[in-house]
Amino acid sequence: METMALSGELVATGLRKWYHPKGQAPVHVLDDCSFKIEPGKLTVVMGTSGCGKSTLAYILCGYLNADGGQVTMDGQLVKEPGSSRLMVFQETALWPWMTILQNVVFGPLAKSNISKEEANRKALELLRKFGLLEFKDKYPGQLSGGMKRRAELAQALINSPKVMVLDEPFRGLDVMTRELMQEYYIKLFEETRLTTVFITSELEEAIFLADRILIMGGAPSKITHTLEVDLPHPRTFDVLASERYLEIKQEALEVLYGDSIQHIC
Ligand SMILES: Nc1ncnc2c1ncn2[C@@H]1O[C@H](COP(=O)(O)OP(=O)(O)O)[C@@H](O)[C@H]1O
Ligand SMILES: [Mg+2]
């Protein structure tokens, strides 16, 4: 008998990607980019600005085709976007002319695989969980940055995805809100163990959240290093003062900047 496939395993093999901007030389963004996202784990992808993180996220979710290589989810080739792999974009995905509740129920209702009552029930449950119930009839413009990000998480989670791909979701938030959101997300992850690919360029955010960090580098980019983050769960900010955290940070700094520091000195 066949063993049951694990749910939410993404495998990228030999991804290559070029852009061809009009009137300019082609941009070779990814080359031979291979890695595995383990189900039930929070994997952080880190890399400098412009190294191809968003490009990789689009390919993982099926919004963009690679020029070479492939992505599979639970053994199935990823060819197009699907509600089992959901992406929270770098830019807001809330429609400004809809209320928060309308935004959250929109996806499932558009697919019409759920009744309006059921969609509303699920949405209200999520909004309660994210502390947004009393803002359900407000428009995105009336919400703070942190609230908008939480509403976007609710908007994605109502589809019960197997994998969440979050592209720098807390970028642009002030430091305190950002830290609150990190705590929020790690709690949510610990509760659901929803397979997560979390993209960031912030090392401290990466270590705080990750079970594993994949570091992108090179030009064109690939995954150059993998760091295991064996800090205990449930994770709280106390962990930032632990010896193990500092060791991991040191190791990461060497991987990230070792060469360039030597170069400057
Ligand atoms: N549609 C596009 N056309 C041409 N070049 C692009 C396009 N999208 C991204 N790029 C270029 O590809 C590289 C990687 O971009 P991106 O994936 O957005 O990186 P990151 O998310 O790591 O900042 C950058 O040099 C960017 O300028
Ligand atoms: Mg990006």
The pTM of this model reads: 0.92
What are the pLDDT digits (tens) for 139-195?
999 999 899 999 999 998 898 889 999 999 999 889 999 999 999 899 999 999 999
Of all residues in the chain, what percent carry a pLDDT higher than 70?
A: 94
- Is pLDDT at 3 greater than 90 in this prediction? no
Residues 104-134: b if buried by 16+ CB within 10 A, e if exposed: bbbbbbeeeebeeeebbebbbebbebbebee
Residue closest by Cα to atom 16 of ligand 1: 52
Task: Return all residues near 48 (Cβ < 8 A) that are at least 6 apart.
Answer: 201, 217
Kindly indicate the confidence band of residue 1, based on its pLDDT and cuts at 50, 70 and 90: very low
User: How confident is the model over 233-240, as a mean pLDDT?
Assistant: 92
For domain 1-84+165-265, which architecture applies? Answer: 3-Layer(aba) Sandwich (3.40)
Q: Supply the residue whose CA is at minimum distance from atom 6 of ligand 1.
A: 19
Task: Indicate if the pLDDT at residue 261 is higher than 70.
Answer: no
Among all ligands shown, which has an atom nearest to the Cα of 19?
A: 1
Whole-number Å distance between alpha carbons of 4 and 23: 50
Which residue owns the Cα nearest ligand 1 atom 7? 19
Closest atom of ligand 1 to 57 CA is: 17
Q: Does 19 contact ligand 1 (Cβ within 6 A)? A: yes
How far does the centroid of ligand 1 lie from the alpha carbon of residue 50, in Å? 6
Q: Which among 76, 93, 69 has a CA at the least distance from the CA of 157?
A: 93
> What are the DSSP calls for the chain, one per residue?
-PPPPPTT-EEEEEEEEEE--TTS--EEEEEEEEEEE-TT-EEEEE--TTSSHHHHHHHHHTSS--SEEEEEETTEEP-S-BTTEEEE-SS----TTS-HHHHHHHHHHHHT-S-HHHHHHHHHHHHHHTT-GGGTTS-GGGS-HHHHHHHHHHHHHTT--SEEEEESTTTTS-HHHHHHHHHHHHHHHHHH--EEEEEES-HHHHHHH-SEEEEEETTTBEEEEEEE----SS--GGGGGSHHHHHHHHHHHHHHHHHHHHHH-
pLDDT at position 2, please?
A: 44
pLDDT tens column, 26-42: 999 999 999 999 999 99
Stretch 75-96: mean pLDDT, rounded? 82
pLDDT at 5 over 60: no
Ligand 1 atom closest to the Cα of residue 51 is 22
Give the strands of the sheet with 85-88, arranged side by side. 85-88, 163-167, 195-200, 42-46, 212-217, 222-228
Nearest ligand 1 atom to alpha carbon 55: 17
Q: Classify each residue of 9-24 as buried b or exposed e, where b means 16 or more C-beta atoms within 10 Å of its C-beta.
A: bbbbeebbbeeeeeee
What are the domain boundaries of the chain?
A: 1-84+165-265, 89-160
Q: Per-residue confidence at 87, pLDDT binned at 50, 70, 90?
A: confident
How much is the mean pLDDT over the chain? 90
β partners of residue 18: 28
- Please report, rounded to a whole number, the percentage of residues in the chain having pLDDT higher than 90: 75
pLDDT at 105 exceeding the cut of 60: yes
